[in-house]
Amino acid sequence: MDRLLTTIISCLCAGFIFGQAAMINEINHVANDPNGHGIEVVAAAGEDLTGWTLLIYTADGLLDQLIDLSNAVVPNQSNGHGTIWYDVVQNDGGNGAALVDPTGGVTQFLSYGTNTIVAATNGAAAGNTAVPMISLTGILAQTGSSYNLGGFSWVTTATSSPGSINTDQIFMLLMESDETVVDIKAPGKASVYPNPFVDTINVRFEPATGSLGALSLFDANGRRCQVQTIPVGAISATVKLKKDLPAGTYILRLDTERESWSKVITH
């Protein structure tokens, strides 16, 4: 993804999304083709969005559009998550977008473009002020790697991916056991050495990684100690461990869009 500017607002600051069933995943308010204007919602695969609504506000805080997300079932596009794209009439200068759950709760309220100050005066978001999002290109997307919807960050980009997982966005799989190979798409293998390790771990991928990945080290309590990005087509990686890493049992785990595996290692 061609990143022009990483926003200073994280996904945590841009809405109350930990434990949330759905979130806004991409916004395109400036497109050469007006039909490219829209907003993408991401959720767990199979999630029924009946009762969810997407509210579009003008810069002066007036409700301009109400989009009913009912009867939309989220597809499985990446490790149990998927996206749905909604065409939205947008001002090039920007709007506000509020995602509202079936109980009427506002789970996200974002403003974007040059008109980034939106205080809603009517509709479900009335009384709320939107979190401003920086956008130089008119396209905002969630990126990074995470096990849940709360672990991604917003960036501004020149490339839109309506209705599909964003470039540089990886939904990782939770571990089901200490050693597991999980992926119906293309389970991979890896050689990890030395084991036990001292301060460096070498990994050889078999075959080479087919998509962008995240290589994480977890302790025995499931806490992630460190993580590094693995590029597309990698055949090997070297993990340099933190100097203060205590002795014990660890789990090295790779997650990509196509595969997920983990290895038990000791220090």
Q: What are phi and psi of 252, to 5 degrees?
A: -100, 130
Contact between residue 164 and residue 83 where contact means Cβ atoms under 8 Å apart = yes
Q: What is the pLDDT of residue 175?
A: 42
* β strands within the chain, DSSP E: 3-10, 22-28, 38-44, 53-57, 63-68, 81-87, 94-100, 106-113, 131-133, 139-146, 153-157, 169-171, 181-182, 189-193, 200-206, 213-219, 224-230, 236-240, 249-256, 260-266
Contact between residue 41 and residue 84 where contact means Cβ atoms under 8 Å apart = yes
Edge-to-edge strand list for the sheet holding 53-57: 63-68, 53-57, 94-100, 106-113, 131-133
CATH topology of domain 181-266: Immunoglobulin-like (2.60.40)
Q: What are phi and psi of 45, to 5 degrees?
A: -60, 135
Contact between residue 16 and residue 125 where contact means Cβ atoms under 8 Å apart = no
Contact between residue 14 and residue 154 where contact means Cβ atoms under 8 Å apart = yes
Helices marked H in the chain? none
Contact between residue 227 and residue 217 where contact means Cβ atoms under 8 Å apart = yes
- Joined tokens for residue 70: 């009912």
Q: Give the number of other Cβ atoms within 10 Å of residue 157's Cβ.
A: 25
**DSSP H or E stretch at residue 136:** none
pLDDT per residue, tens digit, the chain (267 aa), is 333 333 333 333 344 444 468 999 999 987 666 667 899 999 988 889 999 999 999 988 999 999 999 988 899 888 788 999 999 887 766 789 999 999 999 999 999 887 666 899 999 999 999 988 877 678 899 988 777 787 788 888 888 899 999 988 878 765 433 333 333 333 456 788 888 888 898 998 878 887 778 888 887 666 778 888 888 888 899 988 887 788 888 888 887 776 677 788 888
Domain residue ranges in the chain:
3-171, 181-266
Q: Are strands 236-240 and 224-230 parallel, antiparallel or unpaired?
A: unpaired
Contact between residue 106 and residue 125 where contact means Cβ atoms under 8 Å apart = yes
Q: Cα(34)–Cα(142) distance, rounded to whole angstroms?
A: 22
Task: Tell me if the pTM is above 0.75.
Answer: no
